[in-house]
Amino acid sequence: MNIAVFASGRGTNFSAIARAVKKGKIPGNLALLVCDNPSAPVILKARRANVKVALVKRKDFATRKDFEERIIQHLKDEAIDLIVLAGFMRLLSADFVLKYKGKILNIHPALLPSFKGTEGIKDAFEYGVKITGVTVHFVDDQMDHGPIILQEPVKIKEDDTLETLEARIHRVEHKLYPVAIRLYIEGRIRLEGRRVKIVND
Question: Which of the residues are catalytic?
Answer: 108
Tell me the sheet residues that pair with 104.
83
User: Is residue 76 within a helix (H) or strand (E), and if so which, with residue range?
Assistant: helix 64-77
- The string over 110-138, giving b where at least 16 C-beta atoms fall within 10 Å of a residue's C-beta and e elsewhere, is bbbebbbeeebbbbbbeeebeebbbbbbb
Whole-angstrom distance, CA of residue 129 vs CA of residue 126: 8
50 by Cβ neighbours in 10 Å (0-12 / 13-18 / 19+) ranks as exposed
**DSSP assignment, residue 115?**
S
Contact (Cβ atoms closer than 8 angstroms) between residue 38 and residue 197: no
Helix pair 12-22, 41-48: axis angle to 10 deg: 10
**What's phi and psi for 153, nearest 5 deg?**
-75, 150
